[in-house]
Amino acid sequence: MSNIAAHLDDVLSRISRATADAGRPAGSVRLLAVSKTFGAEAVRAALGAGQWAFGENYVQEALEKMAALAGETVDGKPLEWHFIGPLQSNKTRAVAEHFDWVHSVDRLKIAQRLSAQRPVNLPPLQVCLQVNISGEASKSGVTPDEVPAVAHAIAALPNLTLRGLMAIPEPEDDPARQRAPFRAVRALFDTLRADGLALDTLSMGMSADLEAAVAEGATMVRIGTAIFGARDYSPRA
């Protein structure tokens, strides 16, 4: 756990350098620490280093961490929980009731369920529409051609606030080629804003490609391995 604070500092430095290299204002890129498969103690170590927004892929695991960390704050701010994994219809109620953000809205039906199941005593659920920008059969998300219609439909739903787009491009080692899919997502984002949607979030970029994502306009990068280390993907329920 002692390395988490140092790793977090390294990642924040990478984000700061990438932001400056892109000629963007300092602080214009948020860090989402992806804590999936790591326990509450790992999250608590990151809290101690000032990180307060965390991304989770597995609903039950996340709920257990939320319970263990209930009441924890960072500089007076409560923890912010983001759901970033594939979301099945039978899990939407738990997500609607317990999370602050959902990045992985990959079809209108999921958004409609989240809207209907979001408790009225909570603030609107902040959501991003996931785009399958690389056209991979194994990836969730709407096609680029579907983005305008689905985005406008989601934006009209009650109890949700559409914040922007999320993408997980096909892995690519070459930094120049990493940028192309991020550029395509940014173009979709700009088109939606020009069409009148008040979007402010481009959730893209992970440990291996955050610099390319920031160069193309990411406002939130989802970093797990570079902070918490290699994951154990043992089978889970």
What's the pLDDT tens digit per position in 120-176?
A: 999 999 999 999 998 887 788 999 999 999 999 999 999 999 999 999 999 999 988
Instruction: For residue 184, report the phi and psi dihedrals to the nearest 5 degrees.
Output: -70, -40
pTM, two decimals, is 0.95
pLDDT tens digits, 30-62: 999 999 999 999 999 999 999 999 999 999 999
For position 235, what pLDDT does the model report? 55
Q: Give the mean model confidence (pLDDT) for residues 188-217.
A: 98
237: confidence class by pLDDT, cuts 50, 70, 90: very low
Take residue 21 and report the two structure tokens written for it.
């290299």
- Of the candidates 23, 69, 33, the residue with the CA atom closest to the CA atom of residue 227: 33
Q: Domains in the chain, start-ordered, CATH in brackets? A: 2-228 (3.20.20.10)
For position 50, what pLDDT does the model report? 96
230: confidence class by pLDDT, cuts 50, 70, 90: confident
What sign results for the dihedral spanned by CA atoms 175, 133, 55, 122? positive
For position 103, what pLDDT does the model report? 98
Residues with Cβ within 8 Å of 68's Cβ and at least 6 positions away in sequence, in order, are 40
HSE on the CB side for 210, CA within 13 Å? 25
